[in-house]
């Protein structure tokens, strides 16, 4: 499934900054705001299903090993 993302950031840079060769003072009232919007689309739809199948096979293997150890003792 696609994943939707929204982010917001608000930052102050307090002090003297050089902009286009001119020094300018920025105080706490000068805020920089950024909004991010994005969508993440998975490219490997089968990878998750393969991982689930792999874990199921590992579970079956452990159950067989347990049964073999139980039978041998």
Give the separation between CA 49 and CA 69, rounded to whole angstroms. Answer: 31
Q: What is the 8-class DSSP label of residue 21?
A: T
Say what percent of the chain tops pLDDT 90: 47
CB atoms within 10 A of CB 26: 15
For residue 44, name the pLDDT band (cuts at 50, 70, 90): confident
Give the separation between CA 4 and CA 10, rounded to whole angstroms. Answer: 21
Q: What is the 8-class DSSP label of residue 46?
A: H
Q: What is the pLDDT of residue 64?
A: 93
């Amino acid at each position: 499934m696609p994943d939707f993302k929204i982010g917001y950031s608000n930052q102050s840079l307090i002090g003297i900054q050089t902009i286009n060769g001119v020094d300018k003072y920025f105080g706490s009232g000068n805020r920089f705001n950024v909004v991010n919007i994005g969508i993440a689309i998975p490219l490997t739809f089968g990878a998750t299903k393969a991982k689930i199948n792999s874990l199921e096979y590992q579970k079956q293997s452990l159950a067989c090993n347990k049964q073999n150890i139980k039978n041998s003792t």
